[in-house]
Structure 1
Amino acid sequence: MCPQRPLALSPSARLTLISLSSSPRVTYPSPSPSTSRSTFNLRFLLCISSVSLSIEASLMESLLQQSRAMCPFLKRTSPSSLRTLATATRPSTSSGGGTMSNLQVIARRCPVMSKALAVQSARMAGTKRFTSCAAGITGLGNKHCRAPTGKRTLHSTSGNGANVSAEIYKNTQRDPAGFSKIKTPSNATAAAATSGPRPEAPVGKPFNYNSFYNTELEKKHKDKSYRYFNNINRLAQEFPRAHTTSTEERVTVWCSNDYLGMGRNPEVLATMHKTLDTYGAGAGGTRNISGHNQHAVGLESTLAKLHGKEAALVFSSCFVANDATLATLGSKMPDCVILSDSLNHASMIQGIRHSGAKKMVFKHNDLVDLEAKLASLPLHVPKIIAFESVYSMCGSIAPIEKICDLADKYGAITFLDEVHAVGMYGPHGAGVAEHLDYDIYASQDTVNPRSTKGTVMDRIDIITGTLGKAYGCVGGYIAGSAAMVDTIRSLAPGFIFTTSLPPATMAGADTAIQYQARHQGDRVLQQLHTRAVKSAFKELDIPVIPNPSHIIPLLVGDAEVAKKASDKLLEEHGIYVQAINYPTVPRGEERLRITPTPGHIKEHRDHLMQAVQTVWNELGIKRTSDWKAQGGFVGVGVDSAEAENQPIWNDVQLGLKEDEAIEAAVEREFAEAPMRTATRPAAAATSSIPVGVTA
């Protein structure tokens, strides 16, 4: 006898019972005489309770009538009650987990059904994977409930349902004799039963991984693009000096992107020391889990105010910021097209690739080409124009305002990378976009979005920048509308799934940004030094690629020669300038990239000129006059190029007095900025810079 208490079907059983009316093709033979009718029918109901089948309602009623004659439970339970009870489920105690219906729970208490279910589970575990669901577990993952052939699910067609029901019926015909001798299989047994036969041993040879690595490296060596890393250890108290592998050797660093020396700024260091002592080394988690703190909130607020935007978001680097933002927007906006400057940084190129969006590359700073591509796209199509303000390898400046005009005309948004400009340009150090409206922003202590409406920086939709370079720390960020920033915060894997920046780093970066927003002296002094170095190279006929920024690229034109020139400067003259080769720059445009800082004074400059002059002579590298004789190249030897590339910072903005020499202006800047006099002793000591130091 079955227990005299209510019984319920599983949710899938309820769906099954309700849907048993659509397939006239499914028929069932009578149970064998050796099988109890009640056992057969209840087992049948349990089996089909987890499979979506379609049979006639009349067949279901007939099935119930047969069962009622032999099963007390079915006799007293109406079809409507079965449908109602089928909604009740509870967690399964079986090895498969998931949920099970009250019908299955009660059936396990039945002296007949408990054994039948155990045998059925054991026999079906090693055959069809879908029958584990039919045995009563309704909450397993989809992979356990798929049809054994093809990609369709069990309920995909009525024909498939008929096949499944026939398989279930076949299992119900097995003789229940011996049920008491069979136990429900353990987890290990079930796992072994479903693991299947062992695959045959693979044939052939395995992939040669080391051969692959060596082949790729050999390619880099052959095309002279293999990168060598120099061991350079910058010294905070001797900026811009560093030691190499030996702590006794000193070199002067002329290619650091710590453009303003903020990596050793006393205010920044004091803040970082205090934060480190109070909050420890790491953030302790991602921004979503334990890594969101007051330092992140404060830094993002400072960045939003710097650019006059509603919100900002900090990343582990600006490479990640660019990649994550472009990839997210490009993949989420329907039919998005991203228009990218041909000289864009690798981080932007990577983000565009990851987005899967259509890409259109326009010629560098070519407004005609950009407009032609924009005009080819329907107005309703979402478009992103991605470009940089300062292109780091050539020093060129984007026509930001005119690009904004095109964006407005053709319904695009602008994505501006200010990585090499933040801290360097503008009254508050917000970048080139701020600098283009210098007078408006110079009249404000902090950026006021209300009074700067319509300025170039205000018109930019998305600004990205770095906490490294001019700010001397590490990290990256985006700034823009609150909705855009929240979208990236919520959807970008590059932001979500990474540990937050350390508290000391964020606090230090916040201090550096606020310091540069209050003081222009560092960037003014850097610009004065840049002018002095460019002028000195011009007098020596050393080929400087013309540009209006703080970047000083010396054209070499050959990868191997550029590497030799860099090595000679370091090993024989104690000057570190890194060679820039393909793929960072196109082949044939290899160069040395020099970046003066406020700490590079006349003694450093004189030493640099002497060393470069010597190396150029020894290696026979082309001079400006040589390039000019050949018609010019990348602006070198082209008279009009120099005239077209006047400095972004003009004389008035730099505070130059009429006919004032650069050296006099530099000395005045040092005298008027007590904070920077800390760099003077180390700099002055370089008057006896050793030549011929071996790295």
Structure 2
Amino acid sequence: MSQAIATSNRSDGSDESDTTLGAAGSSMPAPHPMNKSWLESHAGSVCPVGRHRMASAQHPRTYATQSKGAYASMVSTPNAKPSSPPTSAQTRTPGSGLGRLPLPPAKEGPGFDFEHFYHDELALKHDQNTYRYFNNINRLAQRAPMGHLANSEAQEITVWCSNDYQNMSRHPRVLEAMKSTIDKYGAGAGGTRNIAGHNKHVEHIESVLARLHRKDAALVFGSCYAANDATLTVLGSKLPNCVILSDSSNHASMIQGIKHSGAKKMIYKHNDMQDLEAKLQSIPVNTPKIIAFESVYSMCGTVGPIEKTIELAKKYGAITFLDEVHAVGMYGPHGAGVAEHLDWMLNASMPPGKLKGTLMDSIDIITGTLGKAYGNVGGYIAGSNRMVDLIRSFAPQFIFSTTLPPAVLTGAATAIEVLMESNHTRQLQQIRTRELKHALLNNNIPLQSNPSHIVPVLVGSAEKAKMASDLLLTQHGCYVQPINYPTVATGLERLRITPTPEHTSTHVAHLVDALKQVWQQLGLRTVSDLLAAPQDGTDKLAELFRHSQFKEDNSPLWSDAMLTLPSELLRGSNSAALRCQCKASPVDHFFSVPPLGVHA
């Protein structure tokens, strides 16, 4: 068993909540009263990840010191009566979470009791099953998708939840480009873009990104969290009386940018175009409006309705802000994301560069990452020359940050170019995803079906999700991360699996067998259980499962024809055979081959 590093801080925005892991403990308490109106307005959301709740779910407390600096009371709700007696941390009821952490010594002297404050905040995280434990997993460059634990290099594990979706972090061309760059230019950039940190490496990758998305310009940031935050902050604060319409399942970086901007926000139900249009209709036509949404939502795998969102934006005079973080490198004939993917034939017929009349051309602002499918670190925006220059000129997240290292920029640019040139790793990854989804359902293991590469296996309990993850790792050598509140709503906890091109059918069979054993060992709910549950709206997990299984628009984004492989290769082949077939299938022949005839 690995030694875990415990922390309550969220990870860097580039990895966002992919590393969330639930702790064992009591169920989530009732939502804070200040969130009631938001929760009511978002009831019934298909992908209720609770991310907009994160921005406002504060727990107001009052800490004061007494005569000897003793720790004072916590006010649990904003409506507590002033005369209510204080509840000391030392006298709370057993099981409150405070017993799990040793109390700090009593404060000596006057002033705020910081250590007790830290203690209580952490105890609250334990109580809510949102405390984060980091598993020490060391992925091997020459053995993907394998890794090892901190203290046992000899015992390899299979990593099933990495966001290195295309294994570009270990691609020979990427590694060689990074090694040669670091030998010649050193480890760091040497400054901000304004002072000694602007170089040919950053100019090159911004040119590559602009071509990839068929935009005028691009701008690179230290992370996509910073890119989203900075862009929405600047636009929302600069545009007069701006209103930002945000999908309820948007990432925390977008929510933070909206908050920082001070602009009015309107949150529409996840992927609900009727709700979005109703809100657009309520805004004066001449008021600047931004519609912020994602192409692939990382925790549920749902896909944003890009075409319909563009139609509404044009109808009501809004601009579109599309986060393609979990789609770049994964979709489209050149890996530009879902917006490119949906116009496959037109984009496949033309090399990267300006192309009018496509969905991607109609998106005003695209944001993406240099991590995930591109296997490195960093984020970016792409759009018009003037928009990019505005962000470059006003965003403090850009102005006051040291430029990414030359080797990082070169490695990321190389990965982008590799994935522009060929679709074979994308095809392999999609085939493995289909194979896994199909095997899970055939073995009575419930998942939230979706059109993307994300495989959310439904558990419905933070405690059991943590236990399942631990058993998979310690007994079966499979590392799968559990996801709980606030990344997903309470009661919809899950294991999030992300197959890669290097996973084989043997890996899939081993994982499915391990999951079957863990499901039986923990008595977790199966497909049969969820289908048999009452359909009265009281069982959130069963409702989510049924809804995802019977949605009409859940066909894989990568169609049978796009995969270009005969159906027999889907059964029992190894990655080498699949890669050979993929390499022999040029892009412009994708629609001339027979369908696979296999559906996830």
Q: How many residues in Structure 1 have an aligned counterpart in Structure 2? A: 470
Equivalent residue in structure 2 for 1:617, among 520, 523, 545: 520
The structure 1 residue matched to 2:185, chosen from 279, 300, 309, is: 279
Looking at structure 2, the residues matched to 325 and 639 of structure 1 have their Cα atoms a distance apart, in angstroms, of 33
Report the alpha carbon displacement of residue 250 of structure 1 after superposing the two structures with TM: 1.2
Q: Does 1:323 align with 2:224?
A: no
Name the structure 2 match of 1:671.
580
Q: In 1, distance between residues paired with 2:163 and 2:227?
A: 18
Cα distance per residue 1:77-117 (max 9 Å; x no partner): xxxxxxxxxxxxxxxxxxxxxxxxxxxxxxxxxxxxxxxxx
Which residue of 149, 157, 178 corresponds with 1:244?
149
Q: For residues 671 and 439 of structure 1, what CA distance do their matches in structure 2 show?
A: 23
Out of 553, 575, 590, the residue aligned to residue 456 of structure 2 is 553
Query: One-letter code of the match for 1:595?
Result: T
SS for the counterpart of 1:359 is strand
1:670 is displaced (CA, Å) by 2.3
Note if 1:637 corresponds to 2:542: no
Residue of 552, 556, 559 corresponding to 1:647 = 556
Question: What secondary structure does 2:234 align onto?
Answer: helix
Counterpart Cα distance in 2 of 1:472 and 1:341: 27
1:230 is aligned to: 135
Shift of 1:557: 0.6
Structure 2 regions of 5+ residues with no counterpart?
1-107, 536-540, 585-600
Superposition pairs of residues 49-198 of structure 1, within 5 angstroms:
none
Q: Which residue, out of 303, 311, 331, partners 1:405? A: 311
Q: Does 1:371 align with 2:272?
A: no
Q: Against the structure 1 CA distance between its residues 517 and 343, is the aligned structure 2 distance closer, same or farther, given a 3 Å change threshold?
A: same
- Describe the SS at the equivalent of 1:553: strand
Render the CA deviation track for 1:619-669: whole Å, top value 9, x for unaligned.
111011111111373541348625531100001111033676444595542
* 1:290 paired residue number: 196
> Retained in 1: the 8 A contact 2:450–2:548?
no
Residues 651 and 662 (structure 1 numbering): CA distance in 2 closer, same or farther, change over 3 Å?
Answer: farther
- SS of 1:348's equivalent? helix
* Cα distance in 2 for residues equivalent to 1:248 and 1:439: 47
**SS, match of residue 230 in structure 2:** helix
Whole-Å Cα distance in 2 between the matches of residues 217 and 673 of structure 1? 49
Tell me which of 392, 395, 403 is aligned to 2:301. Answer: 395
Q: What secondary structure, in the 3-state scheme, does the structure 2 residue paired with 1:628 have?
A: helix
Q: Which has the larger radius of gyration?
A: 1
| Per-residue CA distance 1:365-399 (angstroms, 9 max, x = gap) | 00000000000000111010000000000000011
1:254 maps onto 2:160 in alignment = yes
Percent of residue pairs identical: 59
Q: TM-score normalised to the size of structure 1?
A: 0.66
CA distance, structure 2, for counterparts of residue 458 and residue 674 of structure 1:
29
Counterpart of 1:90 in structure 2 is none
Task: Return the structure number with greater relative CO, CA threshold 8 A, min gap 6.
Answer: 2
Which secondary structure does the structure 2 equivalent of 1:644 belong to? coil
Residue matched to 2:34: none
Unaligned runs of 5+ in 1: 1-202, 676-695
Query: CA contact under 8 A between 2:439 and 2:512: conserved in structure 1?
Result: yes
Residue among 303, 306, 327 paired with 2:209: 303
- Matched AA of 1:254: W
Higher-helix-fraction structure: 1
Q: 1:644 to 1:625 in 2, by over 3 A?
A: farther
2:121 equivalent to 1:216: yes
TM-score (norm 2): 0.76
Q: Residue 475 of structure 2 is aligned with which of 572, 578, 592?
A: 572
The separation in 1 between residues aligned to 2:332 and 2:583, in whole angstroms, is 22
Q: Note if contact 1:553-1:592 (Cα within 8 Å) is conserved in structure 2.
A: yes
| Paired residues of 1:635 and 1:641 also in contact (CA < 8 A) | no
The 3 A distance-change label for structure 1 pair 268 and 588 is same
For residues 603 and 335 of structure 1, do their structure 2 counterparts lie closer, same or farther at Cα, with a shift above 3 Å needed? same
Kept after mapping to 2: 8 A contact 1:624/1:637: no
Amino acid at match of 1:352: I
Partners of 2:425 and 2:579 within 8 A in 1? no
Aligned mates of 1:639, 1:512 — CA distance in 2: 33
The offset of 1:610, in angstroms, is 1.2
Alignment pair present for 1:264 and 2:179: no
Given the alignment of the two structures, is residue 656 of structure 1 paired with residue 565 of structure 2, yes or no? yes
Matches within 5 A, 1:321-470: 321-444=227-350, 446-449=351-354, 452-470=355-373
SS in 2 for 1:335: coil
* Corresponding position of 1:519: 422
Residue identity matched to 1:206: G
Distance 2:333 2:491 in 1: 38
Sort the Cα spacing of 1:608 and 1:486 in 2 relative to 1 into closer, same or farther, 3 A.
same
